Amino acid sequence: MATVESRALKSVPAGINDDIGEETRLKLYRSQVLLREAEQRAFDLFLQNLVKGTSHLSLGQEAVAAGFATAMQPGDLSFCTYRGHAHTLARGVPVEKVLGELMQRDNGLMRGKGGSMHLTSSEHGVMGSYAIIGAHLPIACGAAWRAQYKGAKDVSVCFFGDGTTNIGAFHEALNFAAVWKLPVIFVCENNLYMEYTPISSVTAVAQPAADRAAAYGLERILIDGNDADIVYRTAQAAFAKARAGGGPSLIECLTYRHSGHSRADPAKYRPDGELEKWKERDPVKIYRERLKQFGVDDQAIVAIESDVRKIVDDATEACKAAPMPSLDILTTDVYADGGFAWRN
């Protein structure tokens, strides 16, 4: 079975990403801090019984969402899973809208009709969060097919977990995208676990996504998903390839979730010391150091952190004050006429 050591890649060789530039680095940091704070707040609100239903946090996986979203252009499309808060926020969706949906309030992204697993904000390019494992890989192919057909330059990005690489839709989508040369990027966040079972115990290859790439004629791409610079650089290359008509990419990002699978999971199945090891490679911590290494002064870092905290605090208050959804939306938007009539 893979150990933490073998999974966690060495950090960036010096020099490789030096030219990312301060402006982008600050964006990457700000994004990661926002995701961290918002997810932590979601957990607190759950403990206060204010988040209903379920929720799946991306604590520890922030660098993937931040790195990809920062590399995206407006108009690029994100397809997420139930573990989609971070990807949704990273596209610029207001914290209040996301927390509001988690709290199933009227101010939520979908006014409580979707819930935490289905975050959608089409105006930000978040084309849905999908809770049936693998379903959105083919859907992302379709959006990319439309771009190809229309000669549009947008790229569709599909995020999913390691466990998703063992479902049929993954393989159908990879082959389909490769054969049609679609501008789609498949991003596997390998956090070592499905819900509770280690991915290595149920998968024929060591790297569930990267080791399958060859079967679809794709390059094997395996990266440190806890280093936002590496994620950002890798994403940029994949976007450039997709926009140039070079077809799909499959990128496996090694990462780790600090929390359990979903709200109620204490994650007892993890070996002793594993979480602590990974926390040493906490993406937010790594990136804070990175900023300092590149000469960003403490004040600028702290300013980002306090600004983000205020945004999350304000959003929390707004959500607590927000009303529950009005009952008349129960039957709206089943069909395109706005209602649910199935007969005359």
**Quick check: 179 binds another protein (CB under 8 A)?**
yes
Is the backbone of residue 323 left (phi > 0), alpha (psi -120 to 50) or beta? beta
**Quick check: 82 binds another protein (CB under 8 A)?**
no
Among 115, 161, 208, 260, binds Mg ion (CB under 5 A): 161
Strand pairing of 126-130 and 221-224? unpaired
Classify residue 166 by burial, with Cβ atoms within 10 Å: 0-12, 13-18, 19+.
Answer: middle
Radius of gyration of the chain (CA): 20
**Quick check: 133 binds ligand TPP (CB under 6 A)?**
yes
Q: Are 85 and 109 in contact (CB under 8 A)?
A: no
**Quick check: 135 binds another protein (CB under 8 A)?**
yes
Among 60, 128, 161, 260, binds ligand TPP (CB under 6 A): 161
Q: Pick between residue 160 and residue 186 the one whose CB is nearest to ligand TPP.
A: 160
**Quick check: 195 binds ligand TPP (CB under 6 A)?**
yes
Residues 16-35 that bind another protein (CB under 8 A): none
**Quick check: 145 binds another protein (CB under 8 A)?**
yes
Structure tokens at 117: 């697993």
Q: Give the span between the Cα atoms of 65 and 71, in whole angstroms.
A: 10
**Quick check: 207 binds Mg ion (CB under 5 A)?**
no
**Quick check: 163 binds ligand TPP (CB under 6 A)?**
yes
Q: Give the span between the Cα atoms of 59 and 194, in whole angstroms.
A: 16
Q: Pick between residue 67 and residue 183 the one whose CB is nearest to another protein.
A: 183
**Quick check: 191 binds ligand TPP (CB under 6 A)?**
yes
172 binds, among ligand TPP, Mg ion, another protein, none (CB under 5 to 8 A by kind): another protein
83 binds, among another protein, ligand TPP, Mg ion, none (CB under 5 to 8 A by kind): ligand TPP
Q: At residue 12, what are phi and psi to the nearest 5 degrees?
A: -55, 135
Q: How many residues of this chain bind Mg ion (CB under 5 A)?
A: 5
Which span sits near ligand TPP by CB under 6 A: 72-80, 84-92, 160-168, 293-301?
160-168
The residue whose two tokens read 């996301």 is 98
**Quick check: 328 binds another protein (CB under 8 A)?**
no
The candidate with the shortest Cα–Cα distance to 135, out of 162, 169, 166, is 169
Q: Pick between residue 109 and residue 192 the one whose CB is nearest to another protein.
A: 109
Name, in order, each residue with C-beta under 8 angstroms of 68's C-beta and a sequence gap of 6 or more: 78, 87, 90, 157, 159, 185, 187, 231, 232, 235
**Quick check: 325 binds Mg ion (CB under 5 A)?**
no
Q: Pick between residue 11 and residue 175 the one whose CB is nearest to another protein.
A: 175
Residue 201: Cβ within 10 Å count? 9
Q: Which residues bind ligand TPP (CB under 6 A)?
A: 83, 131-133, 160-164, 191, 193-195, 261
